[in-house]
Amino acid sequence: MAVEVVMPKLGMSMKEGTISVWNKKEGDMVAKGEAIVSIQSEKIETEIEAPADGTLLKVVVQEDQSVPPGTVIGYIGEPNEQLDQSKSLEKQQADSHAEKATEGAVFDVEKPSSKGATVSSSPVARKMALKAGINLENIVGTGPGGRITKADVEKAIAEQRVEPSEAKRSNSDVTEKGMQDGAKITPASAMRQVIATRMHGSLMQSAQLTMNMKADVTDLMALREEVNHTVQTRYGMKLTVTDFIARAVVLALQEHSNMNSAYIDEHIVTYEYVHLGMAVSLTQGLVVPVVQHAEALSVVELSKQIKSLSEQARTGKLQSDQLTGSTFTVTNLGVYGVDHFTPILNPPEAGILGVGAATDAPVFQGGDWQTRAMLPLSLTFDHRIVDGAPAAEFLQTIKQFLEKPTHLLL
């Protein structure tokens, strides 16, 4: 009997998953545990393993299509086996009807069009369209059966500032010029589209300002070397400079709660806890896993969480719940030799700290010139929430913690 390949639920907040690429085609042999398809949800990309040995009999959901968790996306069975999809189809239809009934109680926006047809769309897509003032009837859905997905609405939001004729002409020009110049034209991946939409929205919907400062981390480097032998022996790991920076940020946020805030619906929301976002660069894009309740963690515990989340991000094992709810973000480009840069806010947060590469510099100290390790810090903040002086005080507090590193261990 054929085995179903099902769209998994990657966290409680997941509404839909998108098929990125099928690694196998219909008729191919597959082995249990073999990665046969890649999927995306929000900013997570992960691979689904074959649940059984056999042949990929049928691909139900094609690449770039989005479906809810629990949807059958393919079947594995014996070669030439006849599929009985009636039960699965009935179950999915029942789930769909139940979902629509529930959605109707919350979002009264899926109504018959003037032509008598019903606009089929996901809950997230309808909510986004309602907020953006976009008529769903004007969107062409790319989901199964023409269902409008979140990505469709995000695309419509991005294009609503451009006249349709201009957008069409622009796309045509890009393709034509690319063909003439021999350039490679590749459609943006689902993850890239999400990043593009959010980053553009961040700049358009907030008043961002960046200020720079340098912290003397010579003593911090020395302390790290001193304690890492003990940390390695006791915990089987080593502390990084990023771990100490994260700890300094958490302590500074507790002293400057205005930076641990968000601007939501013309209200300033100030959090009593610190959910720290730590940006991780992947080959397919950038993700920001979140350390929950970082204020309750020691520097060693914080380091463990950061390392665990980073590893899960790189191996595609993060769940969507681990990518939401951050109250402040840290992004480090020092490993690439970058000095100062301008990080973009992770909305609706009030601030994000960019960290550059520490470099040796001559500093006049104690009546003499000394070589000290100077760490560039770049703080981007939302001026709607925080003014320049309070933001500078927050950055100064981070600097003080980094220059008196023993306080980070307490």
Domain range spanning residue 218?
A: 207-409
Same domain, 18 and 112: no
> Which residues form the catalytic set?
383, 387
69-83, 185-199, 272-286 — which is least confidently predicted? 185-199
Q: Which of 22-36, 88-102, 145-159, 253-267 has the lowest mean pLDDT?
A: 88-102
How many distinct structural domains can be found in the chain? 4
**Is residue 224 domain-shared with residue 347, that is, in the same domain?**
yes
Specify the pLDDT at position 181. 66
Of 87, 117, 145, the residue at which a domain comes to its end is 87
CATH number at residue 10: 2.40.50.100
Q: Which of 146, 172, 194 is the last residue of a domain?
A: 194
Task: Show which of 35, 59, 87 is a domain's final residue.
Answer: 87
pLDDT at residue 103, as a whole number: 41
- Residue 13 is predicted with a pLDDT of 66
Query: Residue 120: exposed, middle, or buried by beta-carbon count in 10 A (0-12, 13-18, 19+)?
Result: middle
Asked if pLDDT for residue 70 goes beyond 60, the answer is yes
Quick one: 347 and 211 in the same domain? yes
Same-domain pairing of 252 and 381: yes
pLDDT band, residue 127 (cuts 50/70/90): low
Out of 23-37, 172-186, 375-389, give the one with best mean pLDDT. 375-389
Judgement on whether residues 37 and 120 belong to the same structural domain of the protein? no
- Both 215 and 187 in a single domain? no
**DSSP 8-class letter at 189:** P
pLDDT value for 317: 85
Same domain, 79 and 126: no
CB 7 within 8 A of CB 92: no
Q: Would residue 93 count as lying in a domain?
A: no
Looking at the domain assignment, is residue 240 inside a domain?
yes
Residue 201 has what pLDDT? 86
Are residue 116 and residue 180 in the same domain, yes or no? no
CA distance 365 to 121: 64
Q: What is the mean pLDDT of residues 271-277?
A: 97
Q: Domain for residue 363, yes or no? A: yes
Give the contacts of 309 (CB within 8 A, at least 6 positions apart). Answer: 278, 280, 289, 290, 291, 318, 322
183 and 111 within one domain: no
pLDDT band at 99 (very low <50, low <70, confident <90, very high): very low
273 and 361 share one domain: yes
Distance between CA 349 and CA 52 in Å, rounded?
44
Give the angle 197-202-204 at the CA atoms, nearest 5°: 95
Residues 75, 211: one domain? no
Over residues 281-292, the mean pLDDT reads 90
pLDDT band of 142, cuts 50, 70, 90: confident
- Taking the alpha carbons of 161, 165, 168, 173 in that order, is the dihedral positive or negative? negative
Same domain as 42, residue 14 = yes
Classify residue 98: in a domain, yes or no: no
Contact between 342 and 380 under an 8 Å Cβ cutoff? The reply is yes
Selected residue with higher pLDDT from 58 and 16:
58
> Residue 293 falls within a domain, yes or no?
yes
Q: Is residue 405 part of a domain?
A: yes
Domain assignment present for residue 199? The answer is: no
pLDDT tens digits for range 157-195: 777 654 445 544 555 565 565 556 667 777 777 677 778
Please check whether residue 102 lies inside any domain of the structure: no
- CATH code where residue 405 lies: 3.30.559.10
Mean pLDDT value across residues 94-118: 41
